Amino acid sequence: MKFVPAIIAVFAFAACGNEAGSVGGGEIAKSLLTASTAKLKGAAPADLGLTREALEQVETPVLLATIDSRGQQALLGEVQQNQGVATWSTLDDVTVSFRNGVIVATRGLGNDLMASDGLAVSRQAGTKSRIYTHLDGEDKSVRRRFSCNVLPRGSEVIEIVEVSYTTLRVSENCSADGAVFQNDYWFSSDQKIRKSRQWISDDVGYLTVEDLRR
Amino acid sequence: MIKLKISTAVVALVAAGALATTAALTETRPTLNMYGATGLIDMPSAEMQPDGILSGTSSHFGPISRTTLTFQITPRISGSFRFQGIRDWNKVLCCDGVNQFETYYDRSFDLRYKILDEGRYLPAIAIGLQDFVGTGVIAGEYVVATKHVTPDVKVSAGLGWGRLGSFQSIGSPLGDRPELVIGKGGNFNFGQWFRGPAAPFAGVEWQINDQWTAKAEYSSDAYDEESRVRGTFDRRSPLNFGVEYQRNESLRVGAYYMSGSEFGIAAHFIMNPKKRAGGGIATSAPDPVDPRPSRGANPEAWSTTWLGQPEVQNTLRVRLTRRLEKDGVQVESVRFDGSTAYVRIRNLTVDAEAQAVGRTARALTKVAPASVEQFVIVPMVNGMPVSQVVLQRSDIEALEFDTQAGEKILARAQILSAPAVLNDGIRDPEAYPKFTWSLVPMGRLRVFDQNSPFKAGAGLELNGRYEVTPGLILSGSVSKFLFSNLDDRPPLPERGRLQPVRSANYFYDRDGDPAIETLALTYYRKLAPELYGRMSLGYLERMHGGLSTEVLWMPTARRWAIGAEVNYTAQRSPDQRLGFSLPVDMYETDLCTPDFATAACGARNSYRVVTGHVSGYYKFDNNFHAQVDIGRYLAGDVGATLSLKREFDNGWKVGAFVTKTNVSAEDFGSGSFDKGITVEVPFASLLGIPSTKTRTTVLRPFGRDGGQRLDVDGRLYETVRGYRADGLTEQWGRFWK
């Protein structure tokens, strides 16, 4: 058994080369270790140092997105429009696509939301259904229809980088086959979604999106 | 007396379950026992693991250690391969034949079949064969039933034969058990199954909460040989007790009090090939689809005057190449023809070809002029075009955010056989020649020799690959151990009359440090739309070198393929440098001193052989894959290999193979014929990052010389099959990712 530490030492050595996608034993060992110590711990959101003054310098619309479970934050700019869907991208190539403020797809997050019907959010109480498509571990599409209870929560004041907005909060409690999530939307007086917290997938969890335009 | 009490208790519990007004449904986790099978502590239950689960179990109590690999082959069938060691084997009986070993090692295979699922009133019922092939040291058969009596408590009871009928038997209901004729092992012991004394066993399992489980059982295994005959431990009681702790989805540990005298521990490692680490492959986002402006709004964008200008086509190629670089897709050539763009690509890093095709289509929406309506994308492998995916640009534009985008684009796409032309359109002058290299850690295991179950070496491997032109590849790898105990001499059993084409592996491990593992020139060529060819020349594998030629006929839109291979090879020197002369000591066995002059032990200073196979491949629609190879093997023996695999769409493959040749069991040695288990793991699935690499592990209970094929890299079928329509669509969900 004296060889075991030696072998681990060798495999901790990272692979190198110019071969694209070359994978070393070090990465394998690391992934097995993290797999057996369960989920990665979420860190506190990194402070992006956003100030209203800095934002004034930005001429294009900017969104701030936060992955709640991972504490990761990034700014997004709009890069493409296709059939009423706007795709926004971070600098490091994560994209989030919206139809009327509702997330219809993400890419670059791992277990992405492949597609969703993205029906508009109603501000009246009632029920509606939402369809979500994800990929399973064998890359098969899994399309689920969630039944959602729409619940207006009344007026709430939220602050986004030094600016306060009076908003109407609407919750959607959705469920299908044991999967449950709650999306929240905050509408500002111009009837636009100023902030939202929307479910992406089992592994990613929720994405909070704040509109930094004044 | 104890037996009576337990039986009464079990009957009472079962009765309580049957009479319970609220049905207790299967709500507990199916757990594994010390044999690595689904069950209690030493006894099996009638449950199965979820479909596809691959588990590794290491268990130890008293002098007995077991290492088991179990695979849930289908929802109802599971199989195990086990390596067991019993210490103090010659404590009482000494010292020759089987008694020469202080620790007795044995390999065994099990199969289990679930006949009936648990219902509201009926229990689950399973039937099983333990150690059903080979020396049968731990052979036993059983029928067992399991029923939940509350949502957290389940009770199992069964009847065992063989080892499982050795304590307090109720007689021999199905006749006497004939004496086992072992010979060289490796035979199916049909005559013994369910014969001889039978004895009941039972147990109860209580899942206290999600993490903790308590187990108790009454064992029908008397451990006659280990306890009474050899005194390796003292079996005082048929009762075993245990507690188990589920650390997470992939690790479970247990502690036990066995046989009224011994403590035991077990650890179970559970892998689900259907799930990925982290849930999904983390890749950077693709280009969003860029829709064309309408012809009315921007007539200029729809102009086709550029078609006549070759320099424009080349500029478009360069732009496409740049755009796809970050996606791990290399553009080999581009051709525009009227309203169609033909693009040949090579996927460098993505584990799913569909994703490489999808990203190329997205990039084309950004790059191609508006008048280009059709994309023909050809993924290339080793310079060979296999299939072409024909897509309509308007479909890509329309379906980007459709919740059924995958199914719809597949229905509208055409996947056809690609023409066999070598070059197509404007090539990237920088694509060839292409040199890649890598320095990676490498490990080598030698398992199952009679002294020690596990020997290992670890070191570094330097790989180089030089692609001169499409399809012509010079590749090689050199390895050096940094740590190794592979040069500890194992027992070298008698070999019969065969050339040691594989069984001299100890000498290759000992002398080949550093070793030229491979150094070969390979040429691939698509010969006709459904016909592929390969020729390899050089040091093809660590033990053999020479010439290997192969053709494969793989019809499009079929589930089968047929191939043929002819090789002329010589055995390499164990030092694995450039020579083919064989040293006399590699013929050594424990009972024979080799000599070239007298040809003692079959010694000769070189060995050349012509081998060849005709191979048939068939992919069943339930993800099982069969392969039959008929031909001549490295030791000059003639026969056939049957391989059966369960393949997961994400690249995991778990299978078994058997080879029967005209070598007699005596000449073959232990095990009688070649057989084993293969597990292929895609790195992408393990790591959650994109990679086209996989690692294949072959486990053979006995590494002998009969039925061995040349281990040449890059055989055609595995190279191209992922690019045929059925291969491309396996991970089709990734088209849009």
pLDDT tens readout for residues B94-150? 766 667 678 888 888 999 999 999 999 999 999 999 998 867 778 999 999 999 999
Our count of domains for chain A comes to: 2
- Phi/psi at A142 (nearest 5 deg)? -120, 115
Residues of B in contact with A140 (CB under 8 A): 649, 733
CA dihedral A62, A66, A67, A70 (to 10 degrees): 130
- A126: in domain: yes
User: Among residues A206, A123, A211, A199, which one has the least CA distance to residue A168?
Assistant: A123
- A44: in domain: no
Residues of A in contact with B692 (CB under 8 A): 21
Residues A21 and A72 in one domain: no
Those residues with Cβ within 8 angstroms of residue B253's Cβ, 6 or more apart along the chain or in another chain: B244, B245, B247, B265, B266, B267, B268
Domains observed in chain B: 2-271 (2.40.160.40), 299-431 (3.30.300), 434-727 (2.40.160)
pLDDT tens digits, residue range B510-521?
Answer: 999 999 999 999
Residue B559 pLDDT more than 60?
yes
Q: Give A38's pLDDT tier (boundaries 50, 70, 90).
A: very low
> What is the spatial distance between Cα A148 and Cα A118, in angstroms, rounded to a whole number?
13
Respond yes or no on whether ipTM tops 0.90. no
Flag if A133 and B285 touch (Cβ within 8 Å): no
Residue B320 Cα distances to B315, B385, B424, B736, angstroms: 9, 19, 16, 18
Flag if B288 and A80 touch (Cβ within 8 Å): yes
Which residue segment(s) compose the domain that A140 sits in? 52-211
Residues of B in contact with A80 (CB under 8 A): 288-290
3-state helix, strand, coil in chain B (%, to 5): 15, 40, 40
Per-residue model confidence (pLDDT) at position B305: 87
User: Among residues B532, B496, B529, B554, which one has the least CA distance to residue B702?
Assistant: B496
Residues A128 and A175 in one domain: yes
| Higher pLDDT, residue B377 or B683 | B377
Best of B54, B251, B351, B400 to mutate (most A CBs within 10 Å, chain A): B400
Mean pLDDT of B258-284: 87
> What is the spatial distance between Cα B382 and Cα B434, in angstroms, rounded to a whole number?
12
> What is the spatial distance between Cα B88 and Cα B105, in angstroms, rounded to a whole number?
12
Residues A130 and A171 in one domain: yes
Residues A73 and A144 in one domain: yes
Helices (H), ranges, B108-232: none
Size of interface A-B (CB pairs under 8 A): 203
Residue B250 pLDDT more than 60?
yes
Residue B21 pLDDT more than 70?
no
Per-residue model confidence (pLDDT) at position B275: 85
Those residues with Cβ within 8 angstroms of residue B325's Cβ, 6 or more apart along the chain or in another chain: none
- A131: in domain: yes
- Encoding tokens for residue A85? 């869907």
Minimum distance, in Å, between the CA of residue B690 and any CA atom of chain A = 7
Per-residue model confidence (pLDDT) at position B24: 42
- Return the top range by mean pLDDT from B232-241, B447-456, B662-671: B232-241
Per-residue model confidence (pLDDT) at position B518: 97
Residue B675 pLDDT more than 60?
yes
Q: How far is CA A127 from the centre of its chain?
A: 24
Per-residue model confidence (pLDDT) at position B106: 85
- A23: in domain: yes
Residues A71 and A162 in one domain: yes
Nearest CA in chain B to A140: B733
Residues A182 and A152 in one domain: yes
Query: Per DSSP, what are the bridge partners of residue B536?
Result: B522, B548
Residues B545-583: b if buried by 16+ CB within 10 A, e if exposed: bbebbbbbbbeeeeeebebebebebbbbbbbbeeebebb
DSSP calls for B551-581: EEE--TT-SEEEEEEEEEEEEPPTT-SS--P
Helix (H) or strand (E) segment spanning residue A48: none
| Higher pLDDT, residue B281 or A86 | A86
Per-residue model confidence (pLDDT) at position B253: 97
Nearest CA in chain B to A136: B275
pLDDT tens digits, residue range A45-65?
Answer: 445 677 888 888 877 889 999
Residues A138 and A86 in one domain: yes
Residue A57 Cα distances to A61, A62, A82, A180, angstroms: 11, 11, 28, 41
Those residues with Cβ within 8 angstroms of residue A56's Cβ, 6 or more apart along the chain or in another chain: none
Kindly state the percentage of chain B with pLDDT values over 70: 93
- A73: in domain: yes
Using DSSP's 3-state secondary structure scheme, residue A18 falls into: coil
- A42: in domain: no
Nearest CA in chain B to A7: B458
Minimum distance, in Å, between the CA of residue B661 and any CA atom of chain A = 37
Residues A117 and A146 in one domain: yes
Per-residue model confidence (pLDDT) at position B98: 64
Mean pLDDT of B155-183: 88
Residues of B in contact with A3 (CB under 8 A): 456, 458, 483, 485
Flag if A137 and B400 touch (Cβ within 8 Å): no
Residues A80 and A175 in one domain: yes
Strands B472-484 and B515-528: antiparallel
Burial class (CB in 10 A: 0-12, 13-18, 19+), B421: exposed
Residues of B in contact with A96 (CB under 8 A): none
User: Among residues A119, A115, A121, A120, which one has the least CA distance to residue A143?
Assistant: A115
Residues of B in contact with A111 (CB under 8 A): 278-280
Nearest CA in chain A to B483: A6
Residues A30 and A66 in one domain: no
Asked which of B35-44, B151-160, B222-231 is least confident by mean pLDDT, the reply is B222-231
Residues A88 and A146 in one domain: yes
Crossing angle (nearest 10°) for helices B353-367 and B310-325 = 130
> What is the spatial distance between Cα B523 and Cα B535, in angstroms, rounded to a whole number?
5
Residues A26 and A61 in one domain: no
Minimum distance, in Å, between the CA of residue B479 and any CA atom of chain A = 13
Going by the DSSP 8-state scheme, the letter that residue B32 receives in this structure is B
**What CATH code is carried by the domain that includes residue A195?**
2.40.360.10
Residues of B in contact with A100 (CB under 8 A): none
Would the CA dihedral through B170, B175, B176, B180 be positive or negative? negative
Mean pLDDT of B183-192: 72
Residues B331-367: b if buried by 16+ CB within 10 A, e if exposed: bbbbbbeeeebbbbbbbbbbbbbbbbbbbbbbbbbeb
- A45: in domain: no
pLDDT tens digits, residue range B590-643?
Answer: 888 999 999 888 999 999 999 999 999 999 988 999 999 999 999 999 999 999
Mean pLDDT of B371-399: 96
- Encoding tokens for residue A130? 């939402």
Using DSSP's 3-state secondary structure scheme, residue B350 falls into: coil
Q: Give A15's pLDDT tier (boundaries 50, 70, 90).
A: low
Q: Give B14's pLDDT tier (boundaries 50, 70, 90).
A: very low
pLDDT tens digits, residue range B337-369?
Answer: 889 999 999 999 888 999 999 999 999 999 999
- A202: in domain: yes
